[in-house]
Amino acid sequence: MSDQERLIDHVEVDRSACIGAVVCEALAPGTFEIDDENIAVVRPKEGWDDDEAILDAAKACPVLAIKLMAQDGSQIFPEEDK
């Protein structure tokens, strides 16, 4: 999937919120890995999973520590209050 076809452009993990549940790595192993501190980190963009897998991983995080952003800077997940 090229960057132009991809909706998700930026992924952030709130390291202070992450509890190391590992669900993100299980659902999107090309995008997330668990580091030596048992905290999720984002892998290099070139190997990311497809948008659906990344979104599923973010939604499955029990503490919502994952933020997904589009190329235009809008937040995809979690949805911002309107």
Report pLDDT digits (tens) over 8-52.
999 999 999 999 999 999 999 999 999 999 999 999 999 999 999
13 contacts 35 by C-beta, under 8 angstroms: no
Per-residue pLDDT, 24: 99
| Per-domain boundaries in the chain | 8-73
Q: What is the pLDDT of residues 53-74, one digit of tens each?
A: 999 999 999 999 999 999 999 9
CATH 3.40.50.300 fits 8-73, yes or no: no
Banded model confidence at residue 82, pLDDT cuts 50, 70, 90: low
Task: Give the global pTM.
Answer: 0.91
Q: Is the pLDDT of residue 1 over 60?
A: no
